[in-house]
Amino acid sequence: MKKKESNSMLTRKIATNIFNKIFFENKTLNASLDNNKYFNNLNQKDKSFIYMLLSLTMRRHGQIKIIFKKYLKKKLPKNKNNLSTILTLATTEIIWLNTPDYAVTNSYVELVKKIDKSYLSGFVNAILRNIIRDKEKIKKIMPDITENVPKKMYQSLMKYYGKKTTKKIIEFFMIEPNLDVICSNKISSEQKQKLLSDLKGVEIFPNVIRSLYKGNIQSIYGYEDGLWWIQDFGSYLQFEHLYKKICLEYNKKDIQKLEILDLCSAPGGKTSQILDKGLKVISVDNNRKRINKMNENFKRLKLNPPIICQNVEELKFNKKFDVIVLDSPCSSSGTIRKNPDIFFRNKNFDYKKITQLQKLILKKSSNFLKINGFLMYIVCSIDKTEGEEIINNFCKKNKNFKIVPIDENILNIKKFDNYNSDGFLRILPHSFNYHKNIDFNGSDCFFSAIIKKIKD
């Protein structure tokens, strides 16, 4: 019994250390997990528990803080980050994870004794027991979910989307992300059915399987054979839309000859899409670590695109391209479902700096485009200053480019909601809301615009 309790305490100690890295040292969730040797030595079950605990805590952090602070008779001692984190994580388990009461109190009280002053264990024990006593009442009068969103972000959402849509966006921010698997065109119908069955998934779009799978990605059927790759449906839809536009402009023979440039290409989903259609592409990214990861994925998928490691601003080519895909650096605010640490890191985000970079990169990229060529500008941001405003501003200053409006008919996406923003493709977190099980709904948020070069 003691050994089990000790393991339970150890798991929560690791979760506490990782949360401190994210919350107090401004580290990312993924980097904090990857760089923690104790986490990496755990079994899959304990890893999954820690990930679920941390991601849920980050999503609900504003509500959690309000809840446990009601039970504090005095302020927490200064320089007691561990104590604050312990109360935060424990509240998550009590209210949202429904962990057995004794497991929560025993584990976290033992943890306080191990990493902090022993006299504080009684203080923590009393608070947790009070929360446990009132947990059903707390669930009935829960603080509003808007408390989880940084003030500046909430004001921005309200400005662009209004109260009703903002509330819906935040509701979907609170949902754990699903897994979207993109099937390669080489997959057979029998293999696809096997994949659907193993994942207990649904095909939400041709060759796109959505699942609630939480296990090891390498254990999924068809991994070694390169039958699929992971890519959010919201991201996948961007190039699919562009591809349909291209097909209307060129005959099949000419499409195969097109020269395509994929800029800021990591993690490689769009490059995989392009290559899987038998098209030629040069992939560019400025991060060697991300490129190495891309190469691993491409090797598994049996793809071998030329890759350049360089900043877009420094790129030079002695030729121009028919199609350019620019997945521009951005605030990543649209990926909160997968990266809830953005709630913390975006509190003081410098939007002026990022939009200046976006304008610079877009201008530079446009110079590589042939006349009558298409450029698709993409950001995984929910903020219109990084999307609609960037493109409208660019086309006002560059009269040799025109916006190519979205055509909802060519993608058959009429069944989805909230995807058209003044002729652009604007995917909101609740755009794909079609399944009776809400966990199967939603996506990351993306904006894309297609512009065409009509003259030099």
SS (H, E, C) 139-204: HHCCCCHHHHCCHHHHHHHHHHHHHHHHHHHHHHHCCCCCEEEEECCCCCHHHHHHHHHHHCCEEE
d(CA 153, CA 351): 11
Which residues lie below 8 Å from residue 175, measured CB to CB, with a gap of 6+? 337, 438, 439, 441, 442
What would the two tokens of residue 129 be? 């027991």
Check residue 6 and give its pLDDT: 63
CB-CB contact of 442 with 175 (8 Å): yes
Check residue 406 and give its pLDDT: 84
d(CA 346, CA 153): 8
Which residue's structure tokens are 């659907």?
196
CA distances from 145 to 72, 279, 337 (A): 22, 45, 14
Residue 175: what residue type? I
Residue 176: other Cβ atoms inside 10 A: 16
Cα torsion angle, 163, 168, 169, 175, sign: positive
Tell me the three state secondary structure of residue 1. Answer: coil
Check residue 410 and give its pLDDT: 74
CB-CB contact of 328 with 361 (8 Å): yes
d(CA 196, CA 201): 5
Tell me the three state secondary structure of residue 75. Answer: coil
d(CA 409, CA 446): 19
Burial class (CB in 10 A: 0-12, 13-18, 19+), 140: exposed
Burial class (CB in 10 A: 0-12, 13-18, 19+), 51: middle
Residue 220: what residue type? I
d(CA 62, CA 340): 12
d(CA 448, CA 241): 10
Which among 71, 69, 63 is positioned nearest to 142, based on CA atoms? 63
Residue 76: what residue type? L
Check residue 283 and give its pLDDT: 97
According to DSSP, the residues that pair with 203 across neighbouring strands are 209
Largest Cα span, the chain? 76
How large is the angle between the packed helices 101-115 and 120-133, nearest 10 degrees? 160
CA distances from 389 to 44, 159, 306 (A): 44, 14, 33
Q: Which residues of the chain have pLDDT under 70?
A: 1-6, 77-79, 116-118, 346-347, 412-421
Check residue 365 and give its pLDDT: 97
CA distances from 27 to 21, 22, 217, 292 (A): 6, 4, 24, 22
Burial class (CB in 10 A: 0-12, 13-18, 19+), 264: buried
Check residue 3 and give its pLDDT: 43
